Amino acid sequence: MAAPNGAVPAIEFRDVQKRFGDTVVLDGLNFTVAKGDRVTLIGPSGSGKTTILRLVMTLEDLTDGYIFIDGEPLTHAEVDGERVELKPKHKTEIRKRIGMVFQQFNLFPNMTVIENIIEAPVHVLGMSKEDAIEKARGLLDQVGLADKEDAHPLELSGGQQQRVAIARALAMDPEILLLDEVTSALDPEIVGEVLGILKDVAESTDITMLIVTHEMQFARDVSNRILMFDGGRIVEEGTPEEFFTNPKEQRTRDFLQAVVADPITGALPWQPAPGASGTPAAPATPTTPSTTSTTTQDGDPL
């Protein structure tokens, strides 16, 4: 899983442990995300996906281990064999390279749309107000809300609020963008417009993205790597192609089956329904016996 050619990865988790009280959520997690990668984390609810994103955004303290951003330690470093916490100032500096879009949007309701977007560029990056406004207008245009700059967030629909939140995150020119189920709070008919915008962002920038989503089609379109989590461990990883056409692990198949299969035919959306003429065998239909060995029940991480 190391980054190719020894290039410095955008994100590295090294022996990361996260506990909430007695609950061990992540136990010695290791993985890297190369610069420009679009990595989607999938897995059942409670498997620790959100926790991973929140650790990167420093919204949670890690219990043990290290996270590196561009090779630099995020919150803790090893000094003379000791694990020491870094100064808040250091965290803030590194954090500026990371943006996050939340499931619940979290726009500031006391500010207008444009004020939400220029707040951090002006007060954190020290951009002039004029430049920030110009940039914000460009971003609002990009997310299709050019006419809403003076609206207040609560006057907007959920989908519009989430588009503003995306613009707000992009206004900071993040190197890394974290997306945690950004469409889960939206009505189904709005999901597409938000995902469409993110797809555009993915195509038009080289931002490293770490994505948690249940929208498998989106994961397939946008990401170049997928990590399947269960119980805080990586059960399987691969390209979307490998993942969705030929998942290796039974648990991955079960998960995909549960999340996306057509409730009537049992077919996955990117596969023709079983029984349709000229169909290759659909490996993940409930009636198909497992063709994989079951020795990985405990899912040793890779």
Ligand X SMILES: Nc1ncnc2c1ncn2[C@@H]1O[C@H](COP(=O)(O)OP(=O)(O)O)[C@@H](O)[C@H]1O
**Interface with other proteins by CB under 8 A: which range of 23-31, 64-72, 109-117, 207-215?**
109-117
Nearest approach in angstroms of CB 162 to Mg ion is 16
Nearest approach in angstroms of CB 273 to ligand X is 30
By the 8 A CB rule, do 182 and 105 touch? no
Considering only residues 25, 41, 55, 57, which one is a binding residue for other proteins as defined by CB under 8 A? 57
Place of tokens 């990865």: 9
Q: Which of residues 75-94 bind other proteins (CB under 8 A)?
A: 92
By the 8 A CB rule, do 10 and 35 touch? yes
Considering only residues 123, 157, 184, 302, which one is a binding residue for other proteins as defined by CB under 8 A? 123
Q: Pick from 19, 10, 81, 27: which is nearest to 301 by CA? A: 27
**Binding of other proteins at residue 198 (CB under 8 A)?**
no
**Binding of other proteins at residue 98 (CB under 8 A)?**
yes
By the 8 A CB rule, do 232 and 26 touch? yes
Distance CA 232, CA 52 (A): 9
Strand ranges inside the chain, DSSP E? 11-20, 23-33, 38-42, 64-69, 72-73, 76-79, 82-85, 98-101, 176-180, 208-212, 225-230, 233-238
Opening angle at CA 148, ends 144 and 154, nearest 5 = 110
Secondary structure class of 276 (helix, strand, coil)? coil
Opening angle at CA 48, ends 248 and 240, nearest 5 = 35
Q: Which of residues 45-84 bind ligand X (CB under 6 A)?
A: 45-51
By the 8 A CB rule, do 224 and 244 touch? no
Distance CA 261, CA 268 (A): 4
Nearest approach in angstroms of CB 211 to other proteins is 15
**Interface with Mg ion by CB under 5 A: which range of 43-51, 90-98, 161-169, 193-201?**
43-51
Q: Looking at this protein, which amino acid is placed at residue 145?
A: L
**Binding of other proteins at residue 59 (CB under 8 A)?**
yes
**Interface with other proteins by CB under 8 A: which range of 28-36, 39-47, 117-125, 259-267?**
117-125
**Binding of Mg ion at residue 50 (CB under 5 A)?**
yes
**Binding of other proteins at residue 282 (CB under 8 A)?**
no
48 binds, among ligand X, other proteins, Mg ion, none (CB under 5 to 8 A by kind): ligand X
23 binds, among other proteins, ligand X, Mg ion, none (CB under 5 to 8 A by kind): ligand X
**Interface with Mg ion by CB under 5 A: which range of 12-20, 46-54, 202-210, 253-261?**
46-54
Q: Which of residues 6-45 bind ligand X (CB under 6 A)?
A: 20, 23, 25, 43, 45
Nearest approach in angstroms of CB 235 to ligand X is 13
Distance CA 184, CA 197 (A): 16
Q: What are phi and psi of 240, to 5 degrees?
A: -55, -35
**Binding of other proteins at residue 58 (CB under 8 A)?**
yes
**Binding of other proteins at residue 242 (CB under 8 A)?**
no
By the 8 A CB rule, do 297 and 245 touch? no
Q: Pick from 262, 258, 256: which is nearest to 274 by CA? A: 262
**Binding of other proteins at residue 158 (CB under 8 A)?**
no
Q: Looking at this protein, which amino acid is placed at residue 87?
A: K
Is the Cβ of residue 139 or residue 267 nearer to other proteins in the bound state?
Answer: 139
User: What is the contact surface with ligand X in residues (CB under 6 A)?
Assistant: 20, 23, 25, 43, 45-51
User: What is the contact surface with other proteins in residues (CB under 8 A)?
Assistant: 57-59, 92, 95-96, 98-100, 102, 104, 106-111, 119-120, 123-124, 152, 154-155, 168-169, 172
